Amino acid sequence: MDLNLDGFKTWLTANKNYSKATISNTVSRMKRADKILPWFNDIVYQFRLEQEPAYQSLSCSVRSQLKKAVKLYFEYIEESETEPIPPKKENNLKALSLFANIGVAEAYFKDIGIDVPVANELIERRAKLYSQIYPDTHMICGDITHKTVFDEIVEESIKNRVNIIMATPPCQGMSTAGQLDENDERNELIIPVIDAIKLIKPQYVFLENVPMFLSTAINVNGEKVLIPDLLKKELEPEYKISQYIIDTKDYSVPQTRERAIFLMTHRTDNLKEWVLPEKDEQIVTMQDAIGHLPKLDPYINDVSEEELLEIFPHFYERKEVAANISKWHIPPHHIKRQVIAMQHTPTGCTAFDNKEYFPKKANGEAVKGYRNTYKRQNWSTPAYTVTMDNRKISSQNNVHPGRLEYIDGNGEEIYSDARALTLYELMVIMSLPENWPIPENTSEAFLRRIIGEGIPPLFVKKVFDNLLGD
């Protein structure tokens, strides 16, 4: 029998007066127990677990924590069996996902009853992974600007009665992290989106891009036209169009990420107009999101095993604990001089401010760079915007906040977690569900890049919930 960790977490939140950190730790401990002995719903499970050598080798405190988690899980199962199972959410919303990538945006759609019968993605590797995550979706892999691909998208969408189009065109030509090239051909991918909307005639449209989307002009029939003006000219006769600039931190996502959003509602009688939900009252910080996770040391590429353990005597112990939390909670690999610099850098600060342990080249010369690089994040705020290049200490705002770990023999303060965020931490910050079914053999480097391109799915869920609500 498989564990229902999402249900367990929800039950703990509703029935126990625990902090978020305690709830997360309890769920992680139950997951660890299941790894030692696969869960089965029988009272002898506890006894069998205690006979396992892997359990007996644990410290007394860890064994006690696992026993408590198992006891709570039995309590959750017993109450769940006496309560009626809520019916699965169903509605009549069927979405076409354009520029789907691997489906980050639609990660919660199944939970809220939205089907995605058709999706399109240009890059084959991404399309294949999308199909593994969403096997019920007809993925059309190919260039939407090619007639055969475009026609198949439209034909399949009409056949499957698609009534929502969600489009997240590539933004590199408009992004401040890109080249800001107004002549980038990718900026014109909004044109086939408009054509698809006109032919499929969905009830609703969700468009998302970077804020520069609103001030970017593209070539249309030899003339430069601002994208918002083009959307209004081509679609406003049939659609009510609402335009926004949002920050995902205002919607319980533990990450600052500004986006331009268009919500369109077909001008059909009695059709509910789609608008953004109200902002959430509380901001979710890095402390709320990942503050409960134990310390994790990086792997240092350019030192011996002996020197690694001199610098990080608990490296393997901490690595094992991390692996029990998530298969994606893996120590990042860095080089020694960068790690040493970050060990001497406090939370929220950049190593460029260190008097002695500042960023250095291999020859000892000082590195020149921006102050948002070699920089630790803050515990008290949401994360900075996750970029595609999120595995490097030397890239912008990528380093774990860290905590004061000890003071060395020279009186120097040494801070923990001298590393970039793990893939698991990035997934949490990106608001991806823990049960998102990513195949275990997926490349970590590939996933890191994809996450840096995506829109946080919790924000998308809240926008769609606002449409589905009464």
Instruction: Give catalytic residue positions.
Output: 171
Q: Which 8-state DSSP code applies to residue 374? A: S
CA distance 329 to 319: 8
Amino acid at 18: Y
Residue with tokens 């509910």: 272
DSSP secondary structure string for all residues of 353-368: G-SSS--B-TTSPBPP
Q: How far apart are CA 128 and CA 121, in angstroms?
A: 9
Q: Which among 406, 368, 393 is positioned nearest to 300, based on CA atoms?
A: 393
3-class DSSP string for 134-167: CCCCEEEECCCCCHHHHHHHHHHHHHCCCCEEEE
- Give the three-class secondary structure for 115: strand
- Residue pair 461/432 in contact (Cβ under 8 Å)? The answer is no
Evaluate whether 11 touches 79 at the Cβ level (below 8 Å).
yes
SS3 labels along 37-103: CCCCCCCHHHHHHHHCHHHHCCCHHHHHHHHHHHHHHHHHHHHHHHCCCCCCCCCCCEEEEECCCCC
3-state secondary structure of 201: coil
Which DSSP helix (H) or strand (E) runs through 311? Answer: helix 305-311
C-alpha to C-alpha distance for 44 and 195, rounded to whole angstroms: 62
